[in-house]
Amino acid sequence: MTSFNLSLLEDQLKEIAQSSTGTGVSFAKKSLKLDSEEDVLEVVKAIKECPDLEYLDLEGNTLGPEAAKAIGKALEEKGADLKRALWKDMFTGRLKSEIPNAIKYLGSALTTAGTRLLELDFSDNALGPIGIEALANFLTSSSCYTLHELRLNNNGLGISGGKMLANALLDCYNNSLKAGTPLALKVFVAGRNRLENEGAKALASVFQKLNSLEEVVMPQNGIYYQGITAIANGLSTNPGLRILNLNDNIVGPKGAQALAKALPNFQNLEEFNLGDCLLKTEGSITLAEALGIEGNHPSLTEVNLSYNEIHVSGAKPIALAMADKKHLTKLKLDGNVFGSEGRTILCDLLTASEKIESLSILSDDDSDDESEGGHGSEDEEKDKVEDSESESESKENEENNEDTTEHNGDKIPDSTSTLKVSVSQFLSSPADEKLLLLQGEIVQDFVDHARDLSKNADASSELIFVEEFTKMVMKVSAKCASSDINVRMKAQTLTDALYSKLCSFAVENDEISIWNNALLVNLGLIKSEDKRTGKIVWNLDGCFKALEQVIQQDYFLAETRDTLKIFLEKPVKSRKVVDSCQDSKDSLRAILNRMQST
């Protein structure tokens, strides 16, 4: 990271002031390292000179305790009218002991100022249980009685952190009720937090108290059907729910039953995302029957049931359920096992109901032999999955294994095992079980291994580092296509952290063009002319799936996004070649197009 430049910051401030006078202060994505009171002089100045401080956006900088204290003093004077605290990705590279103090300074300042927040965004900060404990005190204060949006995505809360968050929100609700202004939270985002069943149950008790929720987003939390059932019951008291995203948890048929029971309460539902939730055919039929009740859910626009092991008998109920959804624009069913018969049924029925345009691309490689297989075999598989989930939960709870996930990868959730696999052992033979057995400071271990490989090389050490590290990222991200949900979850989290390190290295060492080229080569989008480059031996489908989330992260370089888009749009030269990754490429390209248009 570059050293602090006060004159440069003054120039940036002038630009910000010109574009946002009268509404708030933004230093978003400036990558400023703010340690001392002197470092934040211009931030403090901007706050004090802002005539109407409705928002303060500090996203993408790194804030130390002393800097936070100085900003806090300014907020005590000017924070009374603050409505939106946009503080995501604000503690990169900070010690865990620094983060709680910084949060306390900011929170106490707003409380002193009499702030009444509408939005609080602390996403992509490595809070963990320690950080959330500091945030909890602020969440119970009068400044949060008016909260409409709470965003805590990717904070590494773990089970204990989830419970602390739930307790804080319950206290906030009870305190606000006594004050005559009951908490009316509308948006709750807490994805990628390893909440698991116990954390989910604790938060469900908060949902049950509220009747105001409109958007609940909790993907990738390792929640099994017991936790899903609690969430469904808790949300039933919120009739205005418009968006429900539980993607990449283990809902299963039993969780689907609980959600189906709750669905009639959500007549305003617009987006329903249960992708990658192991619904099986039975679960999909249960949900389709609930969604398909004539006249229910008239505002539904998006449904995601992809990657759920749904067989041919699930095709008709799903298609019929969508028939009367006049506003449906997106139906995602890829990654299931409909077979050619199931795909035909879907297409015919959706065509008849004029909903065929909503259907996203379906995979062409579903096996007709797998298309049915009998409900008996599916039930056996479901029971095995649920039994293993319960067993795993008990073991994890007993051992209190709640490691935090940090945005820049200092720690990654570990599997509960006494065995340990080194980075070099994983890379030499990247099996699923070896990924789960990677433990400790995993990201740093990858960095150290890449540095070792780049030593004593004929070419530039920076160039070799980028090339070797990119290959490592590919081998990890390839596991995002694994059939094991625990492998996929760990692979996505680790991939995110590794890409963050790689992007930072490329910027700091002026190797962006080398990095872009290495990425294209290792994704198979261009051929390498370098003899050092080996064959692609990893699952590219997983690599493209992982990028769907990674490219949306703030650290991912805009230049790299543009480069990817160009090469993804290049037509395949030979019509005889069937690209097995085409669906994943199309999905990634669609996200890039959407990002460019917004």
Determine if the pTM surpasses 0.85.
no
Give the separation between CA 230 and CA 389, rounded to whole angstroms: 16
pLDDT tens digits, residue range 242-257? 999 999 999 999 999 9
Domain boundaries, the chain: 1-194, 237-393, 421-597
Give the Cα separation of 465 and 136 in Å (integer).
41
What tens digit of pLDDT does each residue of 111-137 get?
999 999 999 999 989 887 788 889 999
Encoding tokens for residue 250?
Answer: 């283990």
Q: Give the domain 237-393 fold.
A: 3.80.10
Closest CA to 221 of 242, 243, 251: 251
pLDDT in tens, 301-318: 999 999 999 999 999 999
Cα–Cα distances in angstroms (integers) from residue 550 to residues 389, 542, 543, 547, in the given order: 28, 12, 10, 5
CATH class given for the domain over 421-597: mainly alpha
Query: 78-107 pLDDT, tens per residue?
Result: 999 999 999 999 998 888 889 999 999 999
Whether 37 contacts 67, CB under 8 Å: yes
Do 499 and 487 form a contact (C-beta atoms < 8 A)?
no
User: In CATH, what number does 1-194 get?
Assistant: 3.80.10.10
DSSP secondary structure string for all residues of 550-584:
HTTSTTS-HHHHHHHHHHHSSPPS-TT---TTHHH
> Matching CATH topology for 237-393 and 421-597?
no
At residue 325, does pLDDT exceed 60?
yes
Q: Give residue for tokens 């992982």.
A: 546
Coil, helix or strand at residue 550: helix
- Contact yes or no for 584/306 (Cβ under 8 A): no
Query: What percent of the chain shows pLDDT beyond 70?
Result: 83
Extract the tokens encoding 266. Answer: 């959500």
CA distance 237 to 381: 33
Residue 54 or residue 536, greater confidence: 54
Q: Per residue in 392-447, pLDDT tens?
A: 444 344 434 433 333 343 444 444 344 678 888 888 888 888 898 888 888 898 99
Residue 232, sorted as left (phi over 0), alpha (psi -120 to 50) or beta, turns out to be alpha
